[in-house]
Structure 1
Amino acid sequence: MRTVRGWFQDTAGGLPRTFWYLWAGTLINRLGSFVLIFLAIYLTQERGFSAAQAGLVIGLWGAGGAVGTTIGGTLTDRWGRRPTLLVAHVGAAGMMIALGLARPLWAVAVGALLLGAFAEAARPAFGAMMVDVVPDKDRLRAFSLNYWAINLGFACAAVLAGFAAQGSYLLLFLVNATTTLVTALIIFAKVGETRGPVTTLPVKGMPAQAGALRTILADRVFLGFVALNLLAALVFLQHISMLPIAMGDSGLSPATYGSVIALNGVLIVVGQLFVPRLIKGRSRS
């Protein structure tokens, strides 16, 4: 018992209250993250679009996410973490409902593009807020716990959405929108602005934002890391695009796909809690 208590204290103890509000919001949001998991199945089986058209829509979601992340990062620094998170979550909830009600391909495509932009705009603000409120010595634990919540919610959502999809696909969009709004409500009620005074000095002769971009583009290690992540994502994200379509073509139900894809989250949930202790004291590289 003492060992379990000590392990729990090492894993989750001493983190600030604001972190746990953010953690709870993440878990609730991910428990209802039905739309992206089942978007390919919805487009091909429910709406009758081809695999190429479904791939185009999901690709537009990714393109919107790339733009949204960039805009979200800029707004996080200029506008603040809290307002960026609130606007991103409320906008994403609205676009989920709009996407669920859209009928023509062009409307679905535009809805996916805007949904990706709003949904991913929250990521930089959330990460910045985590860094703001968690001391440096505890950040590895904090991000590990948050990643654990993401995958716990993902695993549960995949199974639940698989069964819900057999009744009504619109229900997936409505539940996802609701959990996103609940997360926004938690941030609105319990989380204050965490951005401190801006200390970054601009490069001489150019605005601060341009100077920051120049610094990033000159960092070869960081750019190499980004390139490796891009290559990994090209393979990994097939689990929400081509994998569900291929399983559907093989006669497998949405519930079966949900159970299979949930295994990914389950394995991460089981392993993630032990990773920080395994890599403690080791080189990050």
Structure 2
Amino acid sequence: MLHRLYRRYWSSFEGLPAQLWVLALVMLVNRSGAMVLAYLTLYLTSQVGFSDASAGSMIGVFGIGSIAGALLGGRLVEAIGAVRVQTFCLLAAVPGYLLLPVWREPWAIALNIFLLSLATEAVRPANGTVIAKVAKPEDRTRGFALQRLAANLGFAMGGAIGGFLAAIDFRLLFVVDATTTLAAACILLMYFRLQRLPGEAPPADQTQLARPIHDVVFVVFLALFVLSTMVFFQFVSTYTLYLRDYYHLSSVQIGVLFAVNTLVIVATEMLLIDYVKRWPLLRTIGWGCFFSCLGFALLPFGSTFPFAIFAILVMTLGEMLSMSLAAGFVANRAPAGAEGRYMGWWSMGIAVAFVIGPMAGGALYQYDPNWIWYLSLAVGVIVLVGFHLLPEVATLSSGELPALQSLNPVPDPGDLIAESVGS
């Protein structure tokens, strides 16, 4: 039994191009040092003398830079190539990390944070474009899942290392972040050598669909996903406050919950993605978003550590069913040559959710903490219904069906009938 499960686990990684494994190594190295954001508020308040409100505004500056960086990265991919964007932006982030602890003036710190987040976030659409270019359509979801696995492992190691370094000297956080970022850039340089990927140059006859904002299905898809992601980002804001204030959990117990999330993703996400590949894609994403929201909505109905573990398992199931599948849909939705632009809008949507979600959650938490979780359930239902209706809406437009079903080897019979009637 265990041997069969072991073989099934490793078989879920088979067939992925070597380039994706290199990207995963880059992600692992880079994220293992990505600890500055996690400790930025603590650094600004304890070391620089910022108030809680001023430190919070700096997180907002980081979010604004992330939104701008996502759009910029998508455009730069078309201009200079996805590998070059990742390499140059990682190199540009190195001095950004090293200089941040030098400043003491608020304007200088804000400018540094903005430019740093601009560079780091521009990497995301470029990374997604490489996956879209080198992986077959049916393998792109697994490619994104592999990157998530590497990122989660990196964050787990970085979080543990960051706490140890912060106890010694906060400046070590910035040095380690700069070092791992430089190492990630060097790996890209050694393997890809700043070369453009085959077929990366955009075709001359780009159509209206090459502009994501004109793609109605993509816009609705992105709006639904951003709505659920605003709930998901309570994970890094009000979620921990609620566990402390109402579950009375210790920091160690909260750390265990984060570890459970990471371990489940590492152990099962690739298996799960491989198992659900024949399910209707958009509806599976919808259920994933629903379970992610449900994991938070369960919180007011318990108060014990075991119940908190159950709730985070539900949330993690939803995260695994939505994140990689959604990224794969975006990559397959993009016309040839427009992958960077689509991935840029995708990354921008996540950045917007990162800014608005915690802000809205914080405001609601001051009014009534339970209302955050009740609204999470409402959002989950709305998004689930939206994703179930989206395939039907898409069939009203000629040519929409193949893009929607590109990750689903077994088309829905009703969709095939609709396509036949339309022709």
> How far apart in 2 are the matches of 1:22 and 1:152?
14
Question: Unaligned stretches of 5+ in structure 2?
Answer: 283-423
**Aligned equivalents of 2:158, 2:110: Cα separation in 1:** 24
How far apart are the structure 1 equivalents of 2:179 and 2:242?
Answer: 30
Aligned to 2:220: 224
The 3 A distance-change label for structure 1 pair 243 and 188 is same
Distance 1:4 1:99 in 2: 47
In structure 1, what is the Cα distance between the partners aligned to 2:242 and 2:107? 24
Partner residue, 2:122:
121
Structure 1 contact 26–149 (Cα < 8 Å) conserved: yes
Taking a change above 3 Å as real, the CA distance of residues 260 and 41 of structure 1, as seen in their structure-2 partners, is farther
Tell me the equivalent position of 1:105. Answer: 106
CA contact (8 A) 1:27 1:153 kept: yes
CA distance in structure 1 between the partners assigned to 2:241 and 2:42 by the alignment? 6
Alpha-carbon offset, residue 122 of structure 1? 0.7
Alignment of 1:226-245 (within 5 A): 226-240=222-236
CA distance in 2, matches of 1:42, 1:244: 19
C-alpha change, 1:271 and 1:39, in structure 2 (3 Å) is: farther
Give the match for residue 194 of structure 1: 197
Amino acid corresponding to residue 142 of structure 2 in structure 1 = R
- Deviations 1:163-187, CA, capped at 9 Å, x for gaps: 2111111111111111111110000
The corresponding residue for 1:38 is 39
Whether the aligned pair in 2 keeps the contact of 1:162 and 1:259 (CA below 8 Å) is no
Q: Deviations over 1:153-209 (max 9, x none)?
A: 111211221121111111111111111111100000012431514226235xxxxxx
Tell me the equivalent position of 1:93: 94
Q: Is the 8 A contact 1:129 1:195 kept in 2?
A: no
Q: For residue 278 of structure 2, what is the aligned residue in structure 1?
A: 281
Task: Write out aligned runs for 1:2-17 (5 A).
Answer: 3-4=4-5, 6-17=7-18
Distance 2:243 2:165 in 1: 18
Q: What is aligned with 1:207?
A: none
> How many correspondences in the alignment?
277
Instruction: Give secondary structure in 2 for the equivalent of 1:46.
Output: helix
Deviates more, 1:259-268 or 1:237-246: 237-246
1:115 counterpart letter in structure 2: L
Asked if the contact 1:81–1:195 (Cα under 8 Å) also holds between the matched residues in 2, the reply is no
Contact 2:81 / 2:196 at 8 angstroms: preserved in 1?
yes
2:288 aligned residue: none
TM-score (norm 1): 0.85
What is the rounded CA distance, in whole Å, between the counterparts of 1:103 and 1:246 in structure 2? 33
**Aligned-pair identity (%):** 33
Within 5 Å, which residues of 2 pair with 1:1-285? 3-4=4-5, 6-191=7-192, 192-196=195-199, 197-199=201-203, 201-203=205-207, 211=208, 215-240=211-236, 261-285=258-282
> CA shift at 1:240, angstroms?
4.4
Deviation per residue, 1:237-283 (Å, 9 max, x gap): 3554567899999xx99988766645543343234233213312101
Is the Cα contact below 8 Å between 2:8 and 2:271 reproduced in 1?
Answer: no
Query: Are the equivalent residues in 1 in contact too, given 2:33–2:176 (CA < 8 A)?
Result: yes
Please give the secondary structure, in 1, of the residue aligned with 2:281: coil
Q: For 2:84, what is the secondary structure of its paired residue?
A: helix
CA contact (8 A) 2:36 2:174 kept: yes
1:208 corresponds in structure 2 to none
SS of the equivalent of 1:190 reads helix
Amino acid at match of 1:66: I
Does structure 2 conserve the Cα–Cα contact (< 8 Å) formed by 1:44 and 1:245? no
Larger Rg: 2
- Alignment partners' CA distance in 1, 2:7 and 2:204: 39
Question: For residues 110 and 254 of structure 1, what CA distance do their matches in structure 2 show?
Answer: 32
Match for residue 287 of structure 2? none
Q: Once superposed, what is the RMSD of the aligned Cα atoms?
A: 2.9
Taking the aligned partners of 2:258 and 2:39, their CA distance within structure 1 comes to 11
